[in-house]
Amino acid sequence: MALHSEFERILVTEEEIQNRLDELAAEISDDYRGKGSIVLVGILKGSYMFMADLARRLTIPHYIDFMALSSYGSKTVSGAVRVLLDLRADIYDKHVLIVEDIVDTGNTIDYLSMMLNARNPASLKSVVLTRKVGKAINTPVDYLGFEIPDVWVVGYGLDFAERHRTWPYIAELKPEAYSGK
């Protein structure tokens, strides 16, 4: 199958993602077994596919909720994160697991963790599908799918300007596809 002309290469194949999800779901199910229902908090839009595939593999009681966030201003300036859509449910005294597609600078998940911790959940952890190598080294991630190079990636929920979300794999975008835009 020919690769899309804007893609440099496939970084994580569909099979690698699906196999890793089996492992992550087993580990998470073991860790939370006997603790009652947990709340999965998916961060829109990027985590929608990851959330669907991960949640269906969990063997513990859980329910799902979503938040949508956007960062203020430039990507290079670490700052506050704007909440576009908040949780429906109160997470006070609940076991909460953040489900995030990617950690780049760590700014989004750091800010989100601070926000959710202020609501006094019973516990707060995160499962992150991909993290860019060498970035966000001080951001704690409890369950990590894959370390990837520090490049722009798309597919499996991840986008570039709303495009390429629905590929079943994670691909590296060619620099010429996003530079100058």
Does 158 bind ligand IMP (CB under 6 A)? Our answer is yes
Q: Which residues bind Mg ion (CB under 5 A)?
A: 46
- In the complex, residue closest to Mg ion by CB: 46
Single out the residue of 65, 158, 71 nearest to residue 116, CA to CA: 65
Identity (one letter) of the amino acid at 7?
F
For ligand IMP, which is the closer residue by CB, 26 or 77? 77
- Least spacing, CB of residue 65 vs ligand IMP, in Å: 17
> What value, to the nearest 5°, has the Cα angle with vertex 149 and ends 10 and 82?
100
Alpha carbons 176 and 43: distance in angstroms, whole number: 28
Compute the distance between CA of residue 111 and CA of residue 169 in angstroms, rounded to an integer: 28
Active site residue 159: no
Distance in angstroms (rounded) separating the CA atoms of residues 174 and 87: 35
Binding mask 103-142 for ligand IMP (x = CB under 6 A): xxxxxx----------------------------------
Task: Please identify which of the residues 104, 110, 142, 159 carries the catalytic annotation.
Answer: 104
Retrieve residue 72's tokens. Answer: 């203020």
* Rounded-to-integer distance, Cα 114 and Cα 94, Å: 16
Question: Which x/- pattern, by CB under 6 A, does the window 41-60 give for ligand IMP?
Answer: -----x--------------
| Shortest separation between residue 30's beta carbon and ligand IMP, angstroms | 27
The token duo for 157 is: 């929920």
Binding site partner of 130, from ligand IMP, Mg ion, none, Cβ cut-off 5-8 A by kind:
none
Instruction: Select from 53, 55, 85, 51 the least CA-distant residue to 69.
Output: 85
The least CB distance from residue 9 to ligand IMP, in Å, is 14
Among 21, 153, 171, 177, binds ligand IMP (CB under 6 A): 153
Sites for ligand IMP among residues 14-43 (CB under 6 A): none
CB 46 within 8 Å of CB 158: yes
Q: What is the binding site for ligand IMP (CB under 6 A)? A: 46, 101-108, 152-153, 158-159
The residues annotated as belonging to the active site are 104
